């Protein structure tokens, strides 16, 4: 089952066009029973709960030059292993698996590899949980307050 969680901005022709192409591809290949599209803007807690349904989260971005990805931060909160493209937007992310491009064959290869190796899967989950704990707001606040005392 593929869960496609992609907020679509109806005022953005690129966003709407890509979403329509994804739907057309699913129909063309007869995958309607295997793909669920969630294309509405959801609240943070709804997104996290939805992502927790997944075994892995894949963020196959093109090489965009934005500063950071809100989607990856939300994905970290879901505590699921993450596969990203080796894109500038993920350069500062020290966890997850990075794949060289966002071609369907590459995505399938990396997903299959992770799902077929229980040890690697658990290692990814553990490292992600450790990263989330070390970078939680609670930890950041404590570090900041300690810096004021020192």
Tens of pLDDT, residue by residue, the chain (150 residues): 899 988 787 787 777 888 899 999 999 999 999 999 998 888 888 988 999 999 999 999 887 776 667 788 888 888 899 999 988 888 888 899 999 999 999 999 999 999 999 999 999 999 999 998 888 888 888 888 888 887
Domain ranges of the chain: 42-149
The pTM score is 0.81
The C-alpha atoms of residue 123 and residue 100 are separated, in whole angstroms, by 21
Distance CA(38)–CA(94), nearest Å, equals 28
Query: Could you give the residue ranges of the DSSP H alpha helices within the chain?
Result: 13-28, 44-51, 70-77, 104-115, 118-134, 137-149
- Count CB-CB contacts under 10 A for residue 61: 17
CATH number for 42-149: choose from 3.40.50.2300, 3.40.1710.10, 3.40.50.2000, 3.10.129.10.
3.40.50.2000
- Taking a C-beta distance cutoff of 8 angstroms, is the pair 81, 121 a contact? yes
């Amino acid at each position: 089952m593929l869960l496609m969680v992609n907020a679509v901005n109806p005022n953005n022709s690129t966003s709407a066009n890509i979403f329509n192409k994804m739907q057309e591809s699913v129909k063309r290949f007869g995958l309607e029973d295997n793909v669920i599209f969630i294309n509405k803007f959801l609240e943070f807690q709804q997104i996290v709960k939805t992502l927790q349904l997944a075994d892995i989260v894949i963020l196959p971005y093109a090489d965009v030059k934005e500063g950071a990805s809100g989607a990856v931060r939300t994905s970290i909160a879901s505590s699921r292993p993450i596969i990203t493209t080796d894109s500038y937007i993920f350069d500062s992310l020290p966890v997850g698996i990075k794949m060289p491009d966002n071609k369907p064959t590459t995505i399938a290869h990396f997903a299959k590899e992770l799902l077929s190796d229980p040890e690697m899967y658990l290692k990814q989950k553990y490292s992600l949980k450790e990263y989330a704990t070390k970078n939680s707001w609670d930890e950041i606040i404590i570090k900041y307050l300690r810096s004021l005392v020192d």
